[in-house]
Amino acid sequence: MKIRVISAIIMIAIFIPFLIMGELPFAIFMAVLGLCGLYELIHARESKKKFPFLLKVIAYIIVLFFCMYNIDSIEFQYKFDYRVMALLLFIFLSPMVFINDNKKYNLNDALFLIGSLLFIGLSFNLIVITRNFDITYILYLLMITTISDTFALITGMLVGKHKLCPKISPKKTVEGFIGGIFMGTVVASSFYYTVINPSIPLVYLVLITAFLCAIGQLGDLVFSSIKRYYDVKDFSNIIPGHGGILDRFDSLIFVSFAFIIFKGIL
């Protein structure tokens, strides 16, 4: 527990200055985290089967491009170029023909790399775009994830009796899930209404925030399912006591994707 607390303090001390600076420093910082996240996904997958080295190098280059894409924009919108998708399909599907060995590289491998690139690259880029638009929105999302995760743990420890997803995450409970959503909604909604937009209808704000809190916990379970499938305890040990980048950013990744859906209402 002591190591976990010290690591948390160090993480916050590193993260906050970049968050405050924003712009290019924050974008570079998030790109580094994105590269680490891709490494962790690939590393988990390679516990079962190795990828060709050159394709991994290309994957890192592309995810870096995604993370740094359109980082100077101050508008809260995401423009996706379908030519990029066409290039991705060509780059990662064509090697199946040239390698000509399904044991070394096959369709499942190609789709895993394509999906991982899009998932990691777009999510970390979306966090950067959100910060460019306004730091208060990132603080809102961070409150949703940290408060709901923290109180899900506390509530589960105090009154948790009914398992939520025992085959994926044995320690999570229904009571913890509800407690996390409740406290996350109260704190994050209060912040949003007080600091960001006091004119928003409270019903909309509370319902959307509660949904985002639930999505955050869903993201945690999705990544737990990935770890369970590949039989790894943590994605890495880069953060002592916490695991890897994806172990810490799992909820924020899902909440960021969900938040952009409701940005027109909030």
* Residue that is last in its domain, among 86, 116, 133: 133
**Pair 126, 210 in one domain:** no
At 144 the pLDDT is 94
| Range of the structural domain that residue 161 is part of | 135-266
Domains of the chain: total:
2
**Pair 61, 104 in one domain:** yes
DSSP output for 135-159: HHHHHHHHHHHHHHHHHHHHHHHHH
**Pair 34, 156 in one domain:** no
At 241 the pLDDT is 66
**Pair 19, 127 in one domain:** yes
Instruction: Report how far residue 151's alpha carbon sits from residue 161's, in angstroms, rounded to the nearest whole number.
Output: 15
Element (H, E) at 164: strand 163-165
* Residue that is last in its domain, among 91, 112, 133: 133
**Pair 80, 44 in one domain:** yes
At 2 the pLDDT is 66
pTM of the model: 0.87
**Pair 38, 152 in one domain:** no
**Pair 139, 124 in one domain:** no
At 76 the pLDDT is 64
Could you tell me if residue 49 is left (phi over 0), alpha (psi between -120 and 50 degrees) or otherwise beta? beta
At 84 the pLDDT is 81
Q: What is the pLDDT along the chain (266 residues), one digit of tens a residue?
A: 567 777 778 888 888 889 888 889 999 999 999 999 999 999 999 888 889 999 999 999 999 988 888 777 666 666 667 888 888 899 999 999 888 888 889 999 999 999 999 999 989 999 998 888 889 999 999 999 999 988 888 888 888 788 888 888 878 888 889 999 999 999 999 999 999 999 999 999 999 999 999 999 998 899 888 888 888 887 877 877 667 888 888 899 999 989 988 876 77
**Pair 5, 110 in one domain:** yes
**Pair 128, 210 in one domain:** no
* Residue that is last in its domain, among 84, 106, 133: 133
Of 217, 207, 218, the C-alpha closest to 262 is: 207
**Pair 67, 183 in one domain:** no
**Pair 124, 233 in one domain:** no
At 74 the pLDDT is 64
**Pair 209, 265 in one domain:** yes
